[in-house]
Structure 1
Amino acid sequence: MKRVLAMAALALAGVGMGTAQAANGVIGVDVSNWTGEIDWASVASGGGKFAFVMATEGGDFISPTFAAQFAGAADAGLVRGAYHFAQPHESDGAAQAEYFLANGGRWTGDGVTLPGVLDLEDNPYTARNGKNNCYDLSPADMVTWIKDFTKRYHQRTGRQAIIYTTTSWWRTCTGDSAKFKANPLWLARWGADPGELPKGWEKHTFWQSAEKGTLAGGQNSFNGSEAELRELATSAAEVTVSGQVRNRRTYTVTVANTGPYPVTNVKISGRAYGGQKVVKAPGCKFSGTAVTCRVAKLNRGQKVRLTFTTKPRAKGVVGMRFTVGTVELDLKAR
């Protein structure tokens, strides 16, 4: 994936080779400006389902072929994602994340775009810049750099950046940090199996098994089904739910959209307990102990507060239980 590695030849997929097969999972490719012109229709007919495309490197290089490759993959029906080749000695992680976001790395919830990739590997320019394979950063400084990049990317997109690396580089240059398990792992290990993973990850999400495969660019596979691959390219709803007991008669539930995109048709189901019944719930339907509310749409950062009034018995524990998606909330009063 390095800019200096290269096969600048025309890549024609599937010529006299039949359908490509992944070592395991769903097959895909990674390409860059070195890959040359790509016949994306042949990549798709040869079994390719996704593509990672180089967008940027460091803070001063934009791949001249990125736009055409990125659009071409989507036009052929592939799920595609952009990647940034890190140069951690040149500028801080947040600055390189911003450069990536401004030049092709921004995620969009169109159902065909994967979260962006942070490509971390041996310094390919040691003869030019005099830095070691870890860019002369200590493991602690490298972890800080990666945190800054991934944090900024998440802030700007709402998605966790994918991390591309090798187990050996990760162990040497981060001290085998376990702080990035929330980020999907794209493991580079050329061979018949992925081998041992870096610390913090229990499984890989993507695997690059060869520098050059039977399709364009590198040979890769997704560790899951095609449906799960598509899910990774789809915006996940991020809703938080909180509640408050004001007194034995009044309860409030607040639903907030903390994700990057609008959320629609949010259902709130509740039930009173302790011998009471619901007598008031503005904007909701209620009968006896049960209440149901629906929020048609919550924009990014928007929240809705719902208030419920009950007629409780004089003594004993009373309360209301609510369910919002997979979240359960129990508001209890004594």
Structure 2
Amino acid sequence: MVGGGAAARAGAGLFSRYVKEREYSSTCGFVCSSARISGVKRLWLSMVIAATGMTGVAEADGGVRGVDVSDRTGDVDWENVALGGGKFAFVQATEGADYRNPRFDGQFGGAAEAGLYRGAYHYAQPHESDGRAQADYFLQNGGDWISDGQTLPGVLHLEDNPYKDKNGKNSCYGLSTKGMVAWIKEFTVKYRRASGRHAIIHTTTSWWRTCTGNSAAFASNPLWLARWGSDPGSLPKGWKRHTFWQSADKGTLAGGQNSFNGSESRLRALANPPAEVMVSGETMSRTSYKVVVTNTGPYPVKDIKVSGRAFGGQRVVEAPACKFSGTAVTCRVKELPKAKKVLFVFTTKPRKAKGTVGMNITVGSVKLTLKAR
């Protein structure tokens, strides 16, 4: 029987999902009936707290203040926003697949010059084109994430159809709940693969319930909740906390009035995420083991070391692009660009035809055990 190694993720999410799917044993890893199982662990290559998808504890003073602006806002006095306590700004970049905010460059750049964290948002028009096409348009017109210490992940803006009289569509743009969920997945997956960040989702609880069937499929995407009033109220399914809250369309600061549900240090962490590498391993047979290292984060990662050691009375006899001797093997990756992966295949020679054999794999703090019998 061939078995895989343990699986986990730094932070919440992946580990709990794997536990639900497979019985976990502290000595044997995941106990599975399948003949070929991949063990998966996620490695965070930085001690910085991963801010994506989490918010921390809200500050007593209503969180960190910020604004959202578009072409309709006009010219913004960003110094005045900063002096008034604003720490971040969301700027509309695009809408649908053919509109770009003509003031975007000045607004986006002006927010940064005033020392604000800034992010771009895309106003979705799901009836006009598919999610991938609109994500691509957004990425090419200001929505791509920049590793400059000030840029927040891009935003997918989803609310009631504002052009019902013109396009004849309902509040959900004529899409079914299933179709809307599929559209959002297309957009968010495309954005994640291109930028290395999870897009923030801006929506209202009522729209989300009506138009997605209250889908819980997007918990990894930070929530920017729109609800004008004195409190954010109930949240859409899938989110336990909001990350941002739009509480009014106008106020003492320019544009819409918003707050970040956390400390300023957490906001900084959202703009400065840790590098992220996923390590997966698969037992192909008693004599063949596969390890894949994938850069799932927003930065190129340098100097990755993959170490392996065979056990069960076997030795390594082949490991392309790696150094090996006896039971040990060492591989190095000088640089792994974002969204890229590298594959290692190890071939062993057991001394006995029966009995448990396998390999222990180490990548940074991740330890993966692959077994076969």
Shorter chain as denominator, the TM-score bin is 0.7 to 0.9
1:122 corresponds to: 160
The equivalences for 1:1-334 within 5 A come to: 24-234=62-272, 236-244=275-283, 253-259=291-297, 261-268=299-306, 295-300=333-338, 301-303=340-342, 305=344, 317=356, 319-325=358-364, 327-332=366-371, 334=373
* Paired AA for residue 96 in structure 1: Q
In 1: Cα distance, 2:98 partner to 2:128 partner: 10
5+ long unaligned stretches in structure 1: 1-20
In 1: Cα distance, 2:199 partner to 2:209 partner: 20
The one-character-per-residue Cα deviations of 1:21-50 (angstroms, maximum 9, x if unpaired) are 985332221111122222222322333222
Which sits farther off after the overlay, 43-52 or 66-75? 43-52
| Cα contact 1:244–1:331 (8 A) shared by 2 | yes
5+ long unaligned stretches in structure 2: 1-58
Query: Helix, strand or coil: the match of 1:215?
Result: coil
Higher relative contact order (CA 8 A, sep 6+): 2
* Paired AA for residue 322 in structure 1: I
Query: Helix, strand or coil: the match of 1:121?
Result: coil
* Paired AA for residue 89 in structure 2: A
Q: CA deviation at 1:258?
A: 4.6
In 1: Cα distance, 2:253 partner to 2:125 partner: 28
| Cα contact 1:245–1:331 (8 A) shared by 2 | no
Q: CA deviation at 1:319?
A: 4.3
Q: CA deviation at 1:192?
A: 2.1
| Cα contact 2:316–2:346 (8 A) shared by 1 | no
Q: CA deviation at 1:187?
A: 0.4
Which sits farther off after the overlay, 298-307 or 185-194? 298-307
Q: CA deviation at 1:95?
A: 2.4
In 1: Cα distance, 2:351 partner to 2:149 partner: 48
Change (3 A) 1:133 1:240: same
In 1: Cα distance, 2:211 partner to 2:168 partner: 16
Which sits farther off after the overlay, 159-168 or 130-139? 130-139
- The alignment covers a number of residue pairs equal to 312
Query: Helix, strand or coil: the match of 1:109?
Result: coil
Which protein is bigger by CA-based radius of gyration?
Answer: 1
In 1: Cα distance, 2:286 partner to 2:179 partner: 51
TM-score (norm 2): 0.70
Query: Helix, strand or coil: the match of 2:201?
Result: strand
In 2: Cα distance, 1:34 partner to 1:127 partner: 20
Between the aligned residues of both structures, percent identity stands at: 64
Query: Helix, strand or coil: the match of 1:143?
Result: helix
Change (3 A) 1:141 1:274: closer
